[in-house]
Each structure stands twice: as structure tokens, then as C-alpha cells.
Amino acid sequence: MASGTYQFVMNTGPNPGKIYELTQDEITIGRDIANNIVANDAEVSRRHARLRMQAGNYILEDLGSTNGSFVNGQRLMGPHALRPGEQIMFGDHVSFTFEARQFDPNATLISSQNYPRETYRVSPEEAVPPTTPTPSAVDYQPVYSGQVPLSPADPYAPPPDMPFMADYEEEPRRSRTWIYAGAGCLVVVLCMCVVGLYAFDSLDLYCTSPFREITEALGFVCSP
């Protein structure tokens, strides 16, 4: 056996059976895609834990996660030197087995069809393929043969202002006001005429000056 490496095998979590080869001196584990090992689970913190190579062994440290890191069911209270076969759990749902992987260059390679587990090599930065935005269906309208393109709609024009109803009501009101005023004046004049005639007759003003001449001209005789 020429050399030995370590690996994490996911037991439970987003990708059960997936193998993560540990080939770096420092490896971070968490929910954020910037970590070397990404565990996309709600119980895992964005930067949950860290592996550091020290004297040929990996040291596991919890980075102040909310739900904690566990080795063989015991919560980590400080750095822990991992041994092959130990069970590591992050939160309540994501668990790994720490394994030592021996490589023999003279051994016969196993076909990938006979080895169901997926191998994943941890890289310093996991490349995220760029996403190309797809054109929205609203932005593209196909034009078929013989179809006349629709002209843009005319801009909306507000309806003309309608005269206020009070303008129509004000004119009849003014006419009625003048009618009432004229009728009132006529009544006052008639009353004054009636009162004047009554006083004229009661005081016998027919034969007084200057009405005496008018009375005699009409054929009436005034007593001296």
C-alpha cells in the first residue's frame, strides 16, 4: 500500500451513500455552497464545522453551530481527533462515517457498476454552473403566416369634463327667485292701493284740493 487517504461517507442527509474524499489540510462543512462539503439541510448551520489536518490526523471542530456536532452520539465540546469508523452527525439529520481509504496501485480496479456509492472529490471551490435566464413567455409573441400584427393600442384619453349639475340647477332657481320677488312687490303695491282708497273714501278727500276739480269734471257735485 503506497499511500493512505481519508473520506467521509454520507449515511443520512441530502445524498445518502455519497463519498467525499478528504484531500485538503482544512475542510469546512455547512449549508452554504461556499463550504468544501455542502450539506443542504435546515438543521445544519451555514458554517457548521471544520476539519484540520494535524500530524497525519483530521481534527474535527464545531464552529459554534446552532444544533451542534456529534461523534458517536456525544456532542463535541472542543477539538476531536477522528479515528476511522467513527460516526459523525451534524444537527439531527445529516450523518457521516469517517473512513481510512487505502490505495494499492497493483490492485485490480473495481468497475463502477459494481460499486454503487458515488465518489465526490472535495475541491477548494465548488464551481457553480452559470445559469442562463430563459426568455419569458410574455416577452415573446409568435407571429404566424397571414397574421396581421396588432397595432399598439391608442393612448387612453379621459372623457370630457361634464358640467356640474349645479350649473343647470342654478338658472331655474334664479328665475323662481325673481318671480317670487315680483309677486311680493305686486302684493305690497295692491295692499297700499287698497289702504289708500279706503283712507281716501273715509276722509272724503274727493272734494278737497286738488281732487275737487277732478271730481267736478267727472260730473259729481261737491257740497260747499
User: What pLDDT, on the 0 to 100 scale, is given for residue 183?
Assistant: 83
Burial per residue of 60-88, b for 16 or more beta-carbon CB atoms within 10 angstroms, e otherwise: bebeebebbbbbeeeebeeebebeeeeeb
Instruction: Please enumerate in sequence order all residues whose Cβ is within 8 A of that of 33, keeping only pairs 6 or more positions apart, or say none.
Output: 126, 128
- Residue 182 is assigned to a structural domain of this protein: yes
**Residue length, the chain?**
224
pLDDT band of residue 9 (cuts 50, 70, 90) is very high
Mean pLDDT of 41-51: 97
Task: Give the number of other Cβ atoms within 10 Å of residue 170's Cβ.
Answer: 11
The set of cell numbers assigned to 75 is: 456532542
Cα end-to-end span (Å), the chain: 172
User: What pLDDT, on the 0 to 100 scale, is given for residue 3?
Assistant: 40
Q: Of residues 51 and 109, which shows the higher confidence score?
A: 51
Cβ-based burial of 212 (10 A; exposed 0-12, middle 13-18, buried ≥19): middle
Out of 65, 98, 121, a domain closes at 121
Task: Give the number of other Cβ atoms within 10 Å of residue 39's Cβ.
Answer: 24
Among residues 120, 83, 75, which one has the least CA distance to residue 99?
Answer: 83
- Residue 127 is assigned to a structural domain of this protein: no
- Read off the CATH number of the domain in which 56 is found: 2.60.200.20
User: What pLDDT, on the 0 to 100 scale, is given for residue 147?
Assistant: 56
pLDDT, tens only, 165-188: 555 555 566 677 778 788 888 888
Range of the domain at 204: 166-217
- Give the whole-number percent of the chain exceeding pLDDT 90: 42
Place of cell 451534524: 90
Out of 87, 121, 155, a domain closes at 121
Place of cell 450523518: 95
- Residue 224 is assigned to a structural domain of this protein: no
The Cα 6–Cα 20 span in angstroms is 9
User: What pLDDT, on the 0 to 100 scale, is given for residue 80?
Assistant: 98
Predicted TM-score (pTM) of the model is 0.47
User: What pLDDT, on the 0 to 100 scale, is given for residue 91?
Assistant: 95
pLDDT, tens only, 201-221: 676 666 666 666 776 676 666
pLDDT, tens only, 63-88: 999 999 999 999 999 999 999 999 99
- Residue 22 is assigned to a structural domain of this protein: yes
The set of cell numbers assigned to 34 is: 461556499
Phi-psi region of 56 (alpha: psi -120 to 50; beta: other; left: phi over 0): left
- Residue 95 is assigned to a structural domain of this protein: yes
- Residue 84 is assigned to a structural domain of this protein: yes
Total number of domains in the chain: 2
Cβ-based burial of 20 (10 A; exposed 0-12, middle 13-18, buried ≥19): buried
The set of cell numbers assigned to 152 is: 399598439
Same domain, 205 and 107: no
Same domain, 27 and 82: yes
3-state secondary structure of 98: strand
- Residue 131 is assigned to a structural domain of this protein: no
User: What pLDDT, on the 0 to 100 scale, is given for residue 44?
Assistant: 97
pLDDT, tens only, 100-134: 986 555 555 554 444 455 555 655 555 455 556 55
- Residue 61 is assigned to a structural domain of this protein: yes
The Cα 187–Cα 184 span in angstroms is 5
